Amino acid sequence: MGQNKIYAGRESDDEPFRFDEAVTRVFPDMLQRSIPGYAASIEAIGSLAARYVQPRTTCYDLGCSLGAATLAMRQGIAADGCHIIAVDNAPAMVKRCQRVMDEDDARGRSDTSVEVVHGDIREVAIANASMVVLNYTLQFLELADRDAVIQKILDGLIGGGVLVLSEKVVDDDPRVEKLLVDLHREHKRRNNYSALEISRKRAALEKVLIPESVAEHRERLTRAGFRHAAVWLRYFNFVSIVAIR
């Protein structure tokens, strides 16, 4: 796994964040150093898969990147006849995710099949689903597209199906928001990001990542028709929400 030095080497803050080959090479390191609580969210996805995935249903990892959530679901699923569809729109991510899944296939640890798809999650059909994961994915879509994606997921889930939605959020209280931002910056400094790297990465993400509040996410889930939704994990301004049809 490479160490993320992308923002140390850039000459300016003008370039927006992209899931290209350079990011793909250092992505696991970037996640672990940048998103507090990330490992806990992946672990819980496996636990939720064991509890909620039903026999002969499909699971979806939308915005799968290198497939960490896909693997967690695969290893957690106890039901028979299930299939996972992992989707990402970045060719470099899809290529490496497929390699990860091939390596997992070679170990023979699971009978659950995985299909890695290069595509736009807004265009992927959701059907006969008992579990869907959006792990830090919705935040990269335009605001106008988010309601339709959540509605499509709800419509494709069977009764008792579950959605895991992890996102960076903003707090409604400006003073609390400033505190959370400062704590997150300190977290990155403790993980050996320089002040320049932190500043450049923030500038790059601001062009493509549009966070919302927890209340806005919960309202969207309720409008779509989810019967139950709650934050089960929060670390600074990063949350994971579980929603049940």
What pLDDT digit, counting tens, does each position of 128-181 carry? 999 999 999 999 999 999 999 999 999 999 999 999 999 999 999 999 999 999
Instruction: Express each pLDDT in 30-52 by its tens digit.
Output: 676 788 888 899 999 999 999 99
Alpha-carbon span 175 to 118, nearest angstrom: 41
Apex CA 155: angle with CA 154 and CA 160, to 5°? 60
Give the orientation angle of helix 21-34 with respect to helix 91-107, to 10 degrees.
70
Tell me how far apart the alpha carbons of residues 33 and 191 are, in angstroms, rounded to a whole number. Answer: 6
Give the pLDDT confidence of 50-107 residue by residue, as tens digits: 999 999 999 999 999 999 999 999 999 999 999 999 999 999 999 999 999 999 999 9
Q: Is the dihedral of CA 45, 69, 26, 146 positive or negative?
A: negative
pLDDT of residue 196: 44
CB 82 within 8 A of CB 153: no
E strand or H helix that includes residue 127: none
- Structural domains counted in the chain: 1
Q: How far apart are CA 141 and CA 145, in angstroms?
A: 6
Nearest-angstrom CA–CA distance, 149 and 112? 25
Structural domain boundaries, residue 167:
1-245
CATH number assigned to the domain comprising residue 76: 3.40.50.150
